[in-house]
Structures are given as structure tokens and as C-alpha cells.
Amino acid sequence: MSLSKKQIKFLRSKCHTLKAVIMMGQKGLTEEVLNELDIALSSHELVKIKLSVDDREARKQLILKICDKSQSEEVQSIGKTLSVYRVNLDKSIIELPKA
């Protein structure tokens, strides 16, 4: 699933009011973090994640890995805060605008 620019803009506006649900520690992307992310994405669809990586290149690689492993899409990345989206196929929570 690929999001259109209009849908990303809509989701970014929703991100402003969100608090970070997932806090990544020094151990990085562990199975426990992936499980919590899966639960959060299933129940909320749009999730904010606080990353602990200081290096920009390492952070970009981590973002790609997070999106790949969780089958989600990056909506926004500002500093150490990442917002990702994954539609809940059973019961959609966020009504996206048409592409």
C-alpha cells in the first residue's frame, strides 16, 4: 500500500496531537519493541515512535527497518520522532481521503 501526497498530508495533521506510544531504548529494534508496535498499529493505525539513535544515517536505516518489519509506511520523521501508519484491514479506524 502506497500513500498519496494528499493522504500523507492528512495523516501528518493527525500526528500533531499524538503522544509517542513506543520508546526505543538502547537495545534498538528488538522483538519486544516490534510486538508492541504491532499491537499499537493494530489498535491505532497511526503511531508515534521515539528513537534513541543520534546518528542521522543510522536513524534513516532504522526507520527503513521499522517500516519494513512492521509493514507500515513512514508518515513523518522529525528529529528523533517517527510517525508510521498501517491500515487495520479488519476494522479501519482512520478514514483516509481518496488518493
Tens digit of each residue's pLDDT (9 = 90 or more) over 75-91: 999 999 999 999 998 88
Q: Of 2, 86, 95, which Cα lies nearest the Cα of 39?
A: 86
Name the CATH topology of 5-85: Translation Initiation Factor IF3 (3.30.110)
Provide, rounded to the nearest whole percent, the portion of the chain with pLDDT above 90. 76
Q: Which string of b and e fits 56-65 if b means at least 16 CB within 10 Å?
A: eeebeebbee
Distance CA 82, CA 12 (A): 11
pTM greater than 0.85 (yes/no): yes
pLDDT in tens, 45-58: 999 999 988 899 99
